[in-house]
Amino acid sequence: MAKTPAQRIKKHGSKAAVPQHHLPPVVNPTTARTPEKAENNGNLILIAGVVASLFLFWYLHLLTLDQLRQLSGGLAMPDSLIGGFDPAYINQLQPAMNEAARGQLNYVHKTAGTLFPLIFGFTWLLLIGTSVARKALRWALWALPLLFVVVRLWGNAAIDGMLAAGTPDAGQVALASGLTVAGWVLLVLSLLAGAAAVFLRARKPRDHEA
């Protein structure tokens, strides 16, 4: 039976040969990511965000809100009216939607109506942040998707409150209509900001070559 190092020292004193123990080598000594890997990971997140945003836009505006026309006598939901709406339209829409129909619209606002602006806003913030180097320009472009998220979520709540009111006043209608129009305008401006960010990103290799 092999003796332990302590037994060898006790028997042979300082002449005892004690085997040296070494820790096993580290299989992967570094966890640092290269810039190329970090950029590839960022690109994958951007692609996933863009795909999710496109799907949610289609699901919300081109499918769900359009299907709700069946519960309103063919009248379009306020969210779909890019040019806004007036009290006369709401006075026509409100009686056509019973409590169940208004509940369906409220549910849509809490699900897809919330996910779309949040995912779109996050994706566009990431796109602009990774593409625009100048801090002032980056913040200016960031303001558009940030405002879009705030206005869109506020507009959802304003529309639900307007339709839930027994007789919505002109102020409620004007607020909901203004937020709806502002949401569509900010969506278009955010898309343009994203296109500008992509253009600036494409110019980076040329700038380095120059």
- Residue 5 covered by a domain: no
- Residue 42 covered by a domain: no
**pLDDT score of 167:** 83
**pLDDT score of 207:** 47
Give the DSSP per-residue string, 103-171.
Answer: HHHHHHHHTHHHHHHHHHHHHHHHHHHHH---HHHHHHHHHHHHHHHHHHHHHHHHHHHHHHSSS--HH
**pLDDT score of 9:** 58
- Residue 59 covered by a domain: yes
If one counts the domains in the chain, the total is 1
Listed in sequence order, the residues at least 6 apart from 156 whose beta carbon sits closer than 8 Å to its beta carbon are: 79, 109, 113, 114
**pLDDT score of 96:** 93
- Residue 53 covered by a domain: yes
**pLDDT score of 201:** 83
- Tell me the two tokens of residue 60: 């919300």
- Residue 148 covered by a domain: yes
- Residue 73 covered by a domain: yes
- Residue 35 covered by a domain: no
**pLDDT score of 168:** 83
Note down pLDDT in tens along the chain; length 210 residues. Answer: 555 656 665 666 555 554 555 555 555 555 555 666 666 777 899 999 999 999 999 999 999 999 999 999 999 999 999 999 999 999 999 999 999 999 999 999 999 999 999 999 999 999 999 999 899 999 999 999 999 999 999 999 999 999 998 788 899 999 999 999 999 999 999 999 999 999 988 876 554 444
- Residue 177 covered by a domain: yes
Query: Domain range holding 91?
Result: 48-209
